[in-house]
């Protein structure tokens, strides 16, 4: 399936994380509701928080679920999952 076909069938798909061996995890774009439980746990147990995020965003029909089931593969994608959680910065200026 091409990226265009994936976007047509899964319009909320926002990320593809590729692990060793060409395995791919397709993830929906996060919402405040999917990020909220992760943000609450990220400082206390970041690995579990990111695992919960991955399971809440994954599109299992087209993803290689082996990535989430295998510790070595899962640990290899932690940095990419962390990038999804990074909060965008904004500024405020007092007039």
Please report the pLDDT score of residue 83 as a whole number.
Answer: 87
Mention every residue, 6+ apart, whose C-beta is less than 8 A from residue 81.
17, 50, 53, 54
Q: How far apart are CA 87 and CA 84, in angstroms?
A: 8
Give this prediction's pTM. 0.83
Please report the pLDDT score of residue 5 as a whole number.
Answer: 93
Q: Each residue of 44-88: pLDDT tens digit?
A: 898 999 999 999 999 999 999 999 999 999 999 999 998 887 766
Please report the pLDDT score of residue 88 as a whole number.
Answer: 62
Structural domains for the chain = 3-85 (3.30.2220.10)
């Amino acid at each position: 399936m091409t990226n265009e076909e994936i976007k047509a069938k899964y319009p909320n798909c926002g990320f593809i994380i590729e692990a060793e061996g060409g395995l791919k995890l397709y993830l929906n774009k996060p919402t405040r509701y999917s990020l909220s439980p992760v943000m609450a746990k990220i400082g206390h147990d970041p690995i579990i928080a990111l695992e919960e995020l991955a399971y809440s965003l994954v599109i299992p029909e087209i993803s290689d679920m082996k990535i989430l089931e295998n510790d070595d593969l899962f640990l290899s994608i932690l940095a990419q999952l962390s990038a999804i959680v990074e909060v965008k910065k904004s500024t405020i200026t007092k007039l």
